[in-house]
């Protein structure tokens, strides 16, 4: 086992998990904290991990999280319309709800939908993102079937301002401020807005989006052995929709307070208190409502280092309050308590990591998960890894307790026959969690200036929750009123078999990166590829600095996909983006980004009859002033 120095294992581990901006400076290597909940270099991780740094974000000049994530291997992003509209992120072919999203260590997804609002954070609020692929419920509990995306908010080192303008009436203004010595502080605030796109490609009316955002941070030491870090990230704004759907206002917040205490040279513990809010107010003319999740959380982790390895023991607790007013009331409080243990140690000439966890949930009782990973250096720079683990996704509050309502009767005519249907809709409190098991093999080679990696995996997900109608009265004949009970059930299974191949090299003064992913994500009941998941995808990027000039070119290609429960196709497509940066002086930079450089026509999602609109060629210009950058 490649043991890091005790200073890394004990000194940097826990404080660094709250102060990720200091990690890349340590011994010149990229440090990650998400795969093991303790600090390690990315090369030492036994999982497939990608890190998006603050410099990566600035070089890409991406305007939203979607533009950042869609360039990452094994990740596919879809959106039902323009900026701010419903966005889904699929990792390794899993469902959008099968990826756990953490913001500064705090669970950030809605308890009602089970998904994170990817429009909640601006790239200007983000310091770094760690993407970890594979099952991690043994460390984090529910949701982590396909992987974990951990977002660390901005740690500004000084004053700064950025102005942006571009296509579709896009305009943005961002401020940042930071400093301090023994105690460091950081402030970021801004506003962005766009006139947007039509919802469907056949429409002409555009629907806009705006976002106000604020991030605050402070960290320092109360004593030589006790460190404190506090973080707040908040956004709020309006998302315009068509008249039938109605506009909506949103608010999203995550806040954390972390205390890290060194008890002895071999024993540290940390306590994280978290709070999050996901609030959505719809002004629909038919079903206006405010739907809200408020979550309080606590994580207490002990890490003990000794000669054979490192043992981590922890407790996670969160309490959700989910509410809905108007057109059917919802007021539910759910609690989850998880106990976990993980041991990292030398084994069979390499390094092993074994972990287990038990979660106790108000709605469905207990769920046990475990994970075993092993890796060994076969030759200098060449490492083999293998792993197997289980994971689960808890039913959402909507799945369990959506208020009962009656819709209909809806009458329609086929030929000369008239039909009449009535739907009774409601949650199902008897649902079980969705469960998974994953096996994975990996090979990673790294040398100075270049590297390559390949991963093979298979995931089986059982007891998938789907909303489906069941006839409860009447019949199927003409002239008969048929009543359907529309509720969620554990009805199906899926299997994801995949390969990921990535490489990076420094060549001809350019930084080249490539990622090829193939995943067969199949509904085992129908044999069809799961909706909006391409079987094949390719991402490419090349970046170079020429004195005061910087250039980055991104390419991506995706094969044909299915949609509408596998009944409608979505054609494959390829896109090229370009970003240029010019240093006007030491403190000021001009940026230009062109998305969809060749103005390709493509679709990310559709209904039975129409395609959701996507942007054509788009130009964005920014001016950043950041003294001492």
C-alpha pair distances (Å), 443 with each of 46, 163, 237, 345, 440 = 10, 43, 45, 20, 10
Rounded mean pLDDT of 468-478? 67
d(CA 96, CA 87): 9
The 10s digit of each residue's pLDDT in 42-56 is 888 999 999 999 999
Distance CA 10, CA 274 (A): 24
Instruction: Give the pLDDT of residue 50.
Output: 94
508: region left, alpha or beta (phi > 0 left; psi from -120 to 50 alpha) = left
pLDDT at residue 322, as a whole number: 95
Q: How far apart are CA 351 and CA 343, in angstroms?
A: 11
Residue 549 · residue 581 · CB < 8 Å:
yes
The percent of residues in the chain predicted with pLDDT above 70, rounded, is 93
The pLDDT value recorded for residue 448 is 87
| Beta bridge partner(s), residue 149 | 101, 131
pLDDT reading at 26 higher than 50: no
H-state helical runs in 294-342: none
Residue 474: pLDDT band with limits 50, 70, 90: low
**C-alpha of 64 from chain center:** 13
Over 90: is that where the pLDDT of 18 sits? no
Look at residue 11 and tell me whether its pLDDT is greater than 50.
no
Q: How far apart are CA 155 and CA 40, in angstroms?
A: 21
> Helix, strand, coil proportions of the chain in percent (round to 5)?
10, 60, 30
Phi, psi of 466 (to 5 degrees): -135, 140
What's the rounded Cα separation, in Å, for the pair 618 and 627?
29
* DSSP run (H or E) holding 398: helix 397-401
Topology (CATH level 3) of domain 6-625: Maltoporin; Chain A (2.40.170)
- Binned at pLDDT 50, 70 and 90, residue 398 comes out as very high
At 206-251, the pLDDT tens digits run 999 999 999 999 999 999 999 999 999 999 999 999 988 899 999 9
pLDDT at 490: 95
HSE-up (13 A, CA, CB side) for residue 321: 6
The pLDDT, as a whole number, for residue 470 is: 77
Comparing CA positions, the residue from 39, 82, 562 lying closest to residue 344 is 39
Q: HSE (CB half, 13 Å, CA atoms) of 545?
A: 6
CA distance 321 to 526: 37
pLDDT of residue 483: 77
Band (24; pLDDT cuts 50, 70, 90) = very low
State the average pLDDT over residues 563-571: 95
| Lateral strand order in the sheet of 147-153 | 48-52, 126-133, 147-153, 99-103, 106-107
Mean of pLDDT values over 268-281? 96
pLDDT (mean) for 141-158? 95
Residue 14 has pLDDT above 60, yes or no: no
> Distance between CA 321 and CA 335 in Å, rounded?
9
* Residue at token pair 């990650």: 32
| Distance (Å) of CA 112 to CA 22, 128, 280, 304, 403 | 35, 27, 11, 37, 12
Contact 256, 223 (CB under 8 A): no
Q: What are phi and psi of 377, to 5 degrees?
A: -80, 115
Average pLDDT over residues 516-545: 96
- At 405, is the pLDDT very low, low, confident or very high (cuts 50, 70, 90)? confident
Distance CA(173)–CA(554), nearest Å, equals: 25
- Mean pLDDT, rounded, for 398-427: 81
Q: Centre a 10 Å sphere on the Cβ of residue 55 and count the other Cβ atoms it contains.
A: 10
Q: Stretch 160-175: mean pLDDT, rounded?
A: 97
26 versus 191: the higher-pLDDT residue is 191
**Residue recorded with tokens 């629907």:** 207
Q: Which of 1-5, 92-96, 618-622 has the lowest mean pLDDT?
A: 1-5
Mean residue pLDDT of the chain comes to 91
User: Using the 8-state DSSP alphabet, how is residue 200 labeled?
Assistant: B
Contact predicate 236/250, CB 8 Å: yes
C-alpha to C-alpha distance for 172 and 194, rounded to whole angstroms: 9
Residue 461 near residue 533, CB atoms below 8 Å: no
Which residue in the block uniquely carries the two structure tokens 């140690």?
345
Given this model, what pLDDT does residue 410 score? Answer: 73
**Distance separating alpha carbons of residues 387 and 353, to the nearest angstrom:** 9
Separation between Cα atoms, residue 54 and residue 51, nearest integer Å: 10
- Per residue in 77-87, pLDDT (tens digit) is 999 999 999 99
For the chain, the maximum distance between any two Cα atoms, rounded to a whole number of angstroms, is 84
d(CA 612, CA 605): 6
Does the pLDDT at position 21 exceed 80? Answer: no
Is the per-residue pLDDT at 525 higher than 60?
yes
In angstroms, rounded to a whole number, what is the distance separating the alpha carbons of residues 440 and 403? 41
pLDDT at 151 exceeding the cut of 80:
yes
Structure tokens of 91? Answer: 């990792």
Q: Which of 132, 126, 107 is nearest to 63 (CA)?
A: 126
User: What are the phi and psi torsion angles at 112 (to 5°)?
Assistant: -80, -50
Q: What is the pLDDT averaged over residues 113-119?
A: 93
The sign of the CA dihedral 220, 222, 227, 229 is: negative
Based on its alpha-carbon atoms, the radius of gyration of the chain, rounded to whole angstroms, reads 25
Tokens 């494959």, residue located: 572
From residue 338, give the alpha-carbon distance in Å to each of 103, 110, 274, 316: 19, 19, 15, 5
Q: Are strands 510-523 and 536-546 parallel, antiparallel or unpaired?
A: antiparallel
Predicted confidence band of residue 569 (pLDDT cuts 50, 70, 90) = very high
């Amino acid at each position: 086992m490649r043991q890091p120095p005790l200073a890394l294992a004990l000194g940097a581990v826990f404080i660094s998990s709250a102060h990720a901006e200091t990690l890349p400076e340590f011994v010149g290597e990229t440090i990650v904290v998400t795969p093991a909940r303790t600090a390690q270099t990315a090369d030492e991780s036994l999982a497939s991990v990608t890190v998006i740094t603050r410099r990566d974000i600035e070089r890409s000049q991406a305007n939203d999280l979607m533009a950042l994530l869609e360039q990452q291997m094994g990740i596919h992003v879809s959106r039902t319309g323009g900026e701010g509209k419903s966005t889904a992120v699929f990792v390794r072919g899993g469902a959008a709800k099968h990826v756990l999203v953490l913001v500064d260590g705090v669970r950030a997804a809605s308890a009602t939908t089970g998904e994170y609002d990817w429009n909640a954070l601006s790239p200007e609020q983000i310091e770094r993102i760690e993407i970890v692929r594979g099952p991690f419920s043994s460390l984090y509990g529910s949701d982590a079937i396909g992987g974990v995306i951990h977002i660390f908010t901005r740690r500004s080192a000084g004053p700064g301002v950025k102005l942006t303008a571009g296509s579709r009436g896009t305009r943005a203004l961002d401020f940042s401020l930071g400093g301090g010595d023994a105690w460091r502080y950081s402030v970021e605030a801004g506003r962005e807005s766009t006139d947007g796109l039509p919802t469907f490609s056949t429409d002409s009316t555009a629907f806009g989006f705006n976002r106000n955002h604020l991030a605050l941070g402070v960290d320092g030491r109360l004593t030589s052995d006790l460190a404190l870090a506090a973080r707040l990230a908040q956004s709020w704004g309006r998302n315009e929709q068509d008249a039938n759907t109605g506009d909506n206002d949103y608010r999203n917040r995550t806040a954390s307070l972390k205390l890290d205490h060194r008890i002895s040279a071999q024993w540290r513990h940390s306590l994280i208190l978290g709070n999050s809010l996901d609030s959505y107010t719809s002004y629909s003319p038919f079903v206006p409502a405010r739907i809200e999740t408020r979550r309080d959380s606590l994580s207490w982790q002990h890490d003990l280092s000794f000669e054979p390895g490192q043992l981590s023991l922890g407790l996670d607790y969160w309490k959700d309050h989910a509410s809905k007013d108007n057109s059917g009331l919802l007021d539910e409080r759910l609690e989850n308590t998880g106990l976990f243990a993980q041991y990292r140690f030398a084994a069979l000439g390499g390094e092993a990591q074994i972990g287990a966890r038990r979660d106790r949930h108000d709605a469905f009782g207990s769920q046990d998960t475990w994970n075993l990973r092993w890796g060994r250096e076969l030759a200098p720079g060449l490492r083999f890894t293998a792993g197997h683990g289980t994971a689960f996704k808890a039913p959402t509050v909507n799945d369990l307790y959506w208020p009962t309502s009656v819709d209909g009767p809806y009458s329609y005519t086929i030929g000369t026959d008239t039909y009449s249907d009535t739907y009774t809709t409601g949650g199902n409190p008897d649902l079980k969690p969705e469960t998974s098991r994953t096996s994975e093999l990996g090979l990673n080679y790294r040398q100075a200036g270049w590297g390559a990696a390949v991963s093979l995996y298979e995931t089986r997900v059982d007891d998938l929750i789907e909303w489906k109608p069941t006839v409860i009265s009447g019949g199927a004949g003409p002239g008969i009123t048929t009543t359907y009970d529309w509720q969620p059930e554990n009805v199906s299974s899926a299997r994801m078999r995949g390969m990921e191949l990535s490489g990076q090299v420094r060549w001809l003064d350019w930084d080249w990166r490539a990622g090829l992913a193939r995943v067969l994500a199949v509904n085992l009941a129908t044999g069809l590829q799961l909706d909006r998941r391409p079987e094949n995808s390719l991402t490419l990027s090349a970046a170079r600095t020429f004195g005061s000039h910087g250039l980055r070119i991104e390419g991506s290609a995706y094969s044909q996909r299915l949609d509408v429960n596998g009944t409608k196709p979505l054609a494959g497509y390829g896109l090229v983006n370009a970003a240029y940066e010019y240093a006007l002086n030491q403190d000021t930079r001009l940026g230009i980004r062109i998305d969809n450089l060749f103005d390709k026509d493509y679709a990310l999602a559709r209904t039975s009859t129409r395609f959701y609109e996507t942007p054509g060629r788009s130009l964005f210009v920014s001016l950043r002033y950041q003294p001492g950058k």
